[in-house]
Structure 1
Amino acid sequence: MKLDAYLHFLSYVKSLEELWDAHCRQMAGYGFDRLLYGFTRYKTETSLGDPEDFTILTNHGKDYLDGFLRDGLYFNAPMLKWALENEGAASWQMTQDMLLDGTLSPQERKVVEFNRSLGVVAGYTVSFNSVSFRSKGAISLSASGGQSQQEVDAIWAEHGDDILLMNNVAHLKILTLPYNAPNRALTNRQREALEWVGDGKTTQDIALLMGLTAATVEKHLRLARESLSVETTAQAVLKASLQNQMFKIEA
C-alpha cells in the first residue's frame, strides 16, 4: 500500500492480528522481511519486567525466537540497549562498528554471533517515544537475506522518513488494541467482574448485576488476579486496563 493508504488502514484496523499481518507485508515491500516488536510497561533501572507481560509481535522463525527471546539473549542485544537509551531510528552499522573496534562485551558478541548464524545481519531498529519512564517500545527491522548494511542504509536514505512514520503510527495503534499475554487472558466472566470493580461496584453489587452469588464473584476476581499474576484486585483492574482487556469492543 502507498503511504496514505496504509496510514488510513492503520487508523481503522480493529484487531492486532490484522494489523501485524499487514505491517509485516508493508515492511517487506521495503526489504525488511523479519520484524520483532516489543513493548513493556514495567521497566525499571535493572529490568524490563516479567517477560510474560511483554507485548511481543514477530514473524521470525522458532529457532530465532527460542534463542533470542526464550533463552534471554535479548537482554544483551546491543541495539536493544541503544533503544532503551534513545528514541528514533538507528542503523545496525552501529553494531558492526562496535564489533570492529572491540567495544562489545562478551555477552553482546554472543548475541551478534547468534544473529549472524540465523541471517539476522543487516537492518534498522526503531525506538518509540515513551510517555513514562517505566514503558518502552521498539521494533527490529531485519533485512532480507543477502542484503548488506550499505544497501539497507541506501534504502533508508530514500524511504526512511516514511518507514519511520508507518512504524510510529503502527506502534500507537497497537497500544489501543487488546493484547493477551501468554497464559494471562481473562475469561468473559473475569473481565466483566473486573469491569464492575472498575466502575466502583461492591462484591454484593456485582453479584446482583451478574446474577451470581457473592462467593462466585469472589472466585472470578481471584482467578482474574491469578491470570494476571497480581496480588490485589486493584492491581488486576490496572493491568487488565493497560492490556486493553477491559471495556473492549470485540473485533
Structure 2
Amino acid sequence: MSSITSHLLAVTSARTVEDLWSLHTEKMASYGFDRLIYGFTRYITSSSLGDPQDWLILTNLPSEYMDVFMQEGHQQNAPMVRWALDNDGACSWQWMEDLARSGKLSDHELGVMDFNASHGVKAGYTISFRSVSERTKGAIGLIAKNGTTQDEVEATWARIGDDVIVANNVFHLKLLTLPYSGARRLTTRQREVLQWVGDGKTTQDIAILLELTPATVEKHLRLAREALDVETTAQAVLKAAFYNQMFVIDL
C-alpha cells in the first residue's frame, strides 16, 4: 500500500476533528509544510465573511501570530485570502510576490505580507476548495519550513503537488462530516431538544418524551438559541446541523 493511500485510509477513518487534524499536520510536515492554517465559513455575504465565532479555524501557528492576525483583521486584507475567495484550486505564493513587485497590492495587503515575513511566513501554497454554495468557502494555507525559499517550494510541488492537493481535498471533505462546536457549544440536553424539534415534535411532545415540563423544554431551547446566537428555534436547528451536532452518536 502506498504512503498516500495508507494516509487517506487513516484520514477517512478519523472519528474526531482532533484526530483528523493530527493526521493532516503530520502528513503535510512530511511534505515540507510544517505550519498550516485552515478556515471555513458558511456565512459569506457580499461584504463579510460572517461572524468570526462561526468560522471553523484550525492551525498549528503560535498564538502570538494568530492573536495579532485575527484581532487586527489581517485575514480581511491577506492577498491569499482574497485569491481563495475568488478561485478554486492551488496557488503558489509567488503570485502575491509578483503582484507586490508590480505595485498591484494595497498598503493593507503589503502590511499583511510584512507581518507574515516577520513571523517566518514567507513561502508556501494556498489551496481553495470548491464550494457547493455561494455562501460557503474553505481554504488552507500551507506554510513551508522556516528558511525555505519559494523556488524550493516550487521544486517540491513539481514532484508531489498532486498528492498534496488530494490529501488536502480529502481532509477538507472529511472534516465537514465531523461534529464541531468551536465557540458555539451546546449541552447534551440542548442538543437533545433540538433533535426532537428537527423530528417535528412540539414542545409538549418533547416534554412527554423526555419526562420534563414544557417550561423546562422551553428553557433548554432558549439556551440553545443563545449558545448558537440565533433568534428562532428553526435557525438553531439549522446551525446545529451545520456543526454536525444533530443526531450524533458521540461527541
Decide: shared fold, TM above 0.5: yes
Equivalent residue, structure 1, for 2:171: 170
Q: Report the TM-score when normalising by structure 1.
A: 0.98
> What is the distance in 2 between the residues matched to 1:179 and 1:37?
14
Question: What are the ranges of 5 or more consecutive residues in structure 2 without an aligned counterpart?
Answer: none
Supply the RMSD in Å over aligned alpha carbons. Answer: 0.9
Any conservation in 1 of the 2:181–2:243 contact (CA below 8 Å)? Answer: yes
Report the counterpart of residue 217 of structure 2 in structure 1: 217
1:51-89 superposed Cα distances (whole Å, 9 cap, x missing partner): 000000000001110111232111100000000000000
Q: Residue 239 of structure 2 aligns with which residue?
A: 239
The 5 A counterparts of 1:32-111 are 32-111=33-112
Deviation at 1:250, TM superposition (A): 1.2
Question: SS of 1:223's equivalent?
Answer: helix
Q: CA deviation at 1:181?
A: 2.0
TM-score normalised to the size of structure 2? 0.98
The C-alpha deviation readout for 1:128-173, integer Å capped at 9, x for no partner, is: 0100000000000000000000000111110000000000000000
The residue number in structure 2 matching 1:227 is 227
Cα shift at 1:215: 0.3
Segment of structure 1 superposing worse, 198-207 or 69-78: 69-78
1:219 Cα offset (Å): 0.3
Larger CA deviation: 67-76 vs 35-44: 67-76
User: In structure 1, what is the equivalent of residue 182 of structure 2?
Assistant: 181
Runs of 4+ with deviation above 4 angstroms: none
Query: Hey, what's the Cα distance between the residues in 2 that align with 1:249 and 1:122?
Result: 41
The aligned residue for residue 17 of structure 1 is 18
CA distance in 2, matches of 1:231, 1:23: 36
SS of match in other structure, 2:115: helix
SS in 1 for 2:75: helix
Q: Identity, % of aligned pairs? A: 59
Distance 1:131 1:69 in 2: 26
* Secondary structure of residue in 2 paired with 1:32: coil
Equivalences, count:
250
1:233 partner amino acid: T
Report the counterpart of residue 28 of structure 2 in structure 1. 27
8 Å Cα contact 2:90-2:128 kept in structure 1 = yes
